[in-house]
A and B are shown apart, each in its own frame.
Chain A
Amino acid sequence: MILLLLKRIGFMLFTMVVVSIILFLLLETGLTGDPATRVLGNFASDEQKEMWRDQHGYNQPTVVRYAKWLGNFATGNLGTSIRYKGPVKEVLLPRLWNTAILGFWTFAIMIPLSLILGVLSGMKEGSMLDRTISVFGILTTSVPEFASAVFFSALFVFGLKWLPGTSSMIGGFEFKQLILPAMVLVVYDFGYVARMTRASMAEVMTSQYIRSAVLKGLPYRRVILKHALRNALIAPFTVIMLQINWLLSGVIVVEFFFAYKGFGALLLEASLNNDIALLEACAMVAVVVAVSSQTIADIGYTFLNPRIRFS
């Protein structure tokens, strides 16, 4: 168990280092175009570029620069954002907090919804309810986030005039503005989690011990709640943890659409404005969050599954 833990954490650190090398190579070296041109624009003169390179230490050997860059990152010195004219950290942290709020509400709605639908359709595979839920799930996952954002806006903002169309929270935090972004994310994602839950539930329902439980005359309700659910919900735990990775992609679209001041919109802005320091920091944060959630998913799965835990 401890060995597995160390192995997972080791792999997590290894991934982060490799990703940092890739990021560095892509954004900080001449591999994909001159960084000086990227920052100063196409019309900067050669002298200006040379001066900029000199000032920012771009004339040192690549390995030295990478070591310095990584050292700065590890000690929390994330550099300066060109667009926001200030330390990246100060720009990044409030944005991350906003996205955490959005993510929390998305998961708070999505998890119960998808688990209930998944269990209901997995209980009786092939039933009318099962088919309906699965086709409904395919339907909602087929609509890209930006399209469902358009549809919901048309309905709830322009049609019924119930909800505000943007979520920039200019006048302070307002829960009403969070509803549409969270709704779009939930609708796109619950189908997948429900399908995974259904598969897990369906598998458990065909197992020997459920058959015995039914045959010895236990009430159906009890079989489901006491016997089936315990095992059926182990796999969805991993799936839900892995959805954090997906959420990091989803928030980019949704925050851009609703002008929500979150992490995803910041990352997009950084890439559109060639704000390299900010883009690097955002990308690293995204990878750290994604890799840690995968590690937690793995460890949690091992912990929840007694067959692995006790072997």
Chain B
Amino acid sequence: MATQSTTQMPSVGYGAAILRAIKSFGLLRESWVGMIGVFLVLFWVIVAIFAPLIAQFDPNASIQPFAKPGAVAASGSTFWLGTDHMGRDILSRLVWGSRTVLFYAPIATFSAYTVGILMGLMAGYRGGLVDDILSRISDIILSFPVLVLYIIVIATIGASGINIVIAITFASSPGIMRIVRGLVLDLRNRDYVAAAQTRGETDWRIMLFEILPNARGPLIVDACLRLGYVIITIGVLGFLGLGLPPPDPDWGGMVNETRQMAMVFPHMTLFPCIAISSLILGFNLLADGLREISLRD
């Protein structure tokens, strides 16, 4: 009986929800598209974690300018991907740059989700005036072309890691709010919500422990897509010169610094582009695989 009730009642809390999430990741094996996504994302996560072991050079050290891929340094190590115009090893910069991206992108996404989920829960569950105000605010923010919004925000508050997180939260939380709101409008009339209301639980408890865990499916897929999109945003901002301040490696910034020399030294520009595209592709394929599986149930 006890085991049956956990499978039948969807609202048992986060422990079971996390267990099921792990199980559905296991199901990913059936989708080869999703598996490629997992592989790409894991590859970069491992690279980021073991960056000090993989990178043979200091990413900001000027060693030997304009070395071609495969050239051997004076120290005996090889510049597998060559060096840039300032003599910095491109492979080491890519490896350390993966840390930057995989640090800021999840933080920005998480922060946007926290704000978006809270707004969406309030708008969907409370309804009425709260809903109207929150919906209008998000309509207005969403009516901006995204990059224009980022440029204005960054231009006024300055370019730094924390400001990029703020700008991304500001621009993406309204979209997340809309999704959550839609899900809540559907879920709030379920029996288990009525049961919790009868038990006399507070609104916030119902929102966070009854409704939110049951809205997770579409949100996980959206989070994967959005992570990919946030990585694009960080890359684009770096490329436009509005990203993290130099000299620390940042994939978009690397493309911007070296693109004028791409005709003679294509390796300087091509490798960062391949790196960022493969990571984004990983998240998008992962999202596609997850969606395919969630549609199957």
Residues of A near any B CB (own CB < 8 A): 11, 15, 18-19, 23, 26-27, 32-33, 134-135, 138-139, 141-147, 150-151, 153-154, 157-158, 165, 245-246, 248-250, 252-253, 256-257, 267-268, 271-272, 274, 279, 282-283, 286-287, 290-291, 294
Q: Are B280 and A142 in contact (CB under 8 A)?
A: yes
Q: How long is the Cα–Cα vector from A151 to B272 in the complex, in angstroms?
A: 11
Q: Are A15 and B139 in contact (CB under 8 A)?
A: yes
Among A147, A249, A272, max chain B CB count under 10 A is at A147
Q: Are B152 and A23 in contact (CB under 8 A)?
A: yes
Q: How long is the Cα–Cα vector from A294 to B144 in the complex, in angstroms?
A: 11
Nearest 8 pairs of A and B residues by beta carbon: A249-B147, A248-B145, A147-B273, A142-B281, A271-B155, A32-B156, A142-B280, A143-B277
Please, could you name 13 A-B residue pairs with CB atoms under 8 Å apart, sorted by A?
A19-B140, A26-B156, A32-B156, A32-B157, A138-B33, A147-B235, A147-B276, A150-B255, A150-B269, A158-B262, A250-B147, A271-B154, A272-B155
Q: Are A248 and B148 in contact (CB under 8 A)?
A: yes
* Residues of B with C-beta under 8 A to A252: 147-148, 151, 240
Min C-beta distance of A276 to chain B, whole Å: 9
* Residues of A with C-beta under 8 A to B255: 146-147, 150
Q: Are A272 and B156 in contact (CB under 8 A)?
A: no
Q: Are B273 and A287 in contact (CB under 8 A)?
A: no
Q: Does B236 contact A (CB under 8 A)?
A: yes
Chain B window 200-216, contacts with chain A (Cβ cutoff 8 Å), 1 for yes, 0 for no: 00000000000000000
Min C-beta distance of A13 to chain B, whole Å: 12
Residue in A23, A151, A158, A272 whose CB lies within 8 Å of B241: A272
* Residues of A with C-beta under 8 A to B146: 246, 249
* Residues of B with C-beta under 8 A to A19: 140, 143-144
Q: Are B145 and A286 in contact (CB under 8 A)?
A: yes
Q: How long is the Cα–Cα vector from A252 to B155 in the complex, in angstroms?
A: 15
Q: Are A145 and B262 in contact (CB under 8 A)?
A: no
Min C-beta distance of B291 to chain A, whole Å: 11
Residue in B139, B143, B145, B262 whose CB lies within 8 Å of A150: B262
Residues of B near any A CB (own CB < 8 A): 33, 139-140, 143-148, 151-157, 228, 232, 235-236, 239-242, 252, 255-256, 259, 262-263, 266, 269-270, 273-274, 276-277, 280-281, 284-285, 288
Residue in A139, A146, A147, A158 whose CB lies within 8 Å of B263: A158
Q: Are B240 and A154 in contact (CB under 8 A)?
A: no
From known contacts A15-B143, A138-B284, A150-B255, infer whether A268 and B151 are also in contact, taking CB-CB under 8 Å: yes
* Residues of A with C-beta under 8 A to B145: 245-246, 248-249, 286-287, 290
Min C-beta distance of B275 to chain A, whole Å: 9
Nearest residue (CB) in B for A245 is B145
Nearest residue (CB) in A for B258 is A150
Q: How long is the Cα–Cα vector from A286 to B241 in the complex, in angstroms?
A: 21
Q: How long is the Cα–Cα vector from A272 to B159 in the complex, in angstroms?
A: 11
From known contacts A142-B281, A150-B269, infer whether A135 and B33 are also in contact, taking CB-CB under 8 Å: yes
* Residues of B with C-beta under 8 A to A294: 143
Among B146, B152, B269, B285, max chain A CB count under 10 A is at B152
* Residues of B with C-beta under 8 A to A145: 236
Q: How long is the Cα–Cα vector from A271 to B255 in the complex, in angstroms?
A: 20
Q: How long is the Cα–Cα vector from A282 to B152 in the complex, in angstroms?
A: 10
Q: Are A138 and B285 in contact (CB under 8 A)?
A: yes
From known contacts A268-B240, A291-B143, infer whether A144 and B157 are also in contact, taking CB-CB under 8 Å: no
Nearest residue (CB) in A for B281 is A142
Q: How long is the Cα–Cα vector from A267 to B148 in the complex, in angstroms?
A: 8
From known contacts A26-B156, A248-B145, A253-B236, infer whether A142 and B266 are also in contact, taking CB-CB under 8 Å: no
Q: How long is the Cα–Cα vector from A190 to B236 in the complex, in angstroms?
A: 19
Residue in B152, B236, B269, B274 whose CB lies within 8 Å of A271: B152
